Chains A and B, each alone.
Chain A
Amino acid sequence: MQWQIEFLLFVILIIAALVALGIRNLLAAVVTLTIFSFMAALIMIYMGALDVGFTEAVVGAGVVGIFNVVAIFKTSRKSCD
């Protein structure tokens, strides 16, 4: 049961990254990016880097999500590319 957990985390990480790149709704993209960041933190903790994982969870899944949401509220909700 060692490599299965890490494999599952990596699969969720890659799926979240692809969804965040492809989705048109920017608010949903921010949420998926938060999932990506939290999975990266879990992988770092799983590899033994507790301090790096903690920083990634706090900054990537917490504050950067708030800043992105504020930036979306000040600009536009939909992607237009």
Chain B
Amino acid sequence: MKSQTDSPIIEVAARGLAPVIQLIGIYVFFHGHYGPGGGFQGGVLLAAGVLLLRMAVGFENSQVQVPSRKTLILCSVGALIFAGTGLVALLMGGNFMDYAHLPVPGMEAADIRYYAILFIEIGVTMAVMTALISIYDDLLGT
């Protein structure tokens, strides 16, 4: 699975399909406010696009999209965004993840709650996507 595939059909189909899968992942992530979806599902879809490229065009050729050595760093950054939003609210006098206490000037509490959940979802998406890619790379043993 390290070498490039012999079949041009698989490679061209995977190259065309992976951006569409990732676009659907971004749509699911942003649509989590209004319907089914959210950070976890969007992150898994984003990871599925990268994993399709990893399987189809080879491990070395797909390092351009998400390099292997950066996956765990990005996973840690995502977890830091997730926990940091809650901790900032805790430091500003509220409960853990009580978004209304976040220090944003000029916004009402309801608006802060509405936009702070987006930061949580960004953290979850980054953590889930890069963690799944890291699991794949570790399974491959490279």
Chain A residues within 8 Å of B, Cβ to Cβ: 50-51, 54-55, 58-59, 62-63, 66-67, 70-71, 73-74
Q: Is the interface of B mostly helix, strand, loop or mixed?
A: helix
Once the chains bind, are A54 and B132 in contact (CB under 8 Å)?
A: no
Residues of B within 8 A of A73 (CB): 1
Once the chains bind, are B41 and A63 in contact (CB under 8 Å)?
A: no
* In the complex with contacts A51-B36, A54-B36, A54-B37, A63-B140 CB distance below 8 A: no
Chain B residues within 8 Å of A, Cβ to Cβ: 1, 35-38, 40-41, 44-45, 47-48, 51, 55, 132, 135-136, 139-141
A-B contact pairs, 12 of them (CB 8 A): A54-B41, A55-B40, A58-B41, A58-B44, A62-B44, A63-B48, A63-B51, A67-B136, A70-B1, A70-B140, A71-B139, A73-B1
Q: A67 to B1, alpha carbons, bound, how many Å?
A: 13
Once the chains bind, are A58 and B136 in contact (CB under 8 Å)?
A: no
Residues of A within 8 A of B136 (CB): 66-67, 70
Once the chains bind, are B1 and A58 in contact (CB under 8 Å)?
A: no
Residues of B within 8 A of A63 (CB): 44, 47-48, 51, 132
For the complex of A and B, list the 6 residue pairs with the smallest distance between their C-beta atoms, beginning with the closest: A50-B36, A51-B36, A70-B139, A58-B44, A62-B48, A54-B36
B75 to chain A: closest CB distance in Å? 15
Q: A55 to B42, alpha carbons, bound, how many Å?
A: 10
B50 to chain A: closest CB distance in Å? 11
Residues of B within 8 A of A54 (CB): 36-37, 41
Residues of B within 8 A of A50 (CB): 35-36
Q: Please give me the residue from chain A that is nearest to B135 by CB atom.
A: A67
Residues of B within 8 A of A62 (CB): 44-45, 48
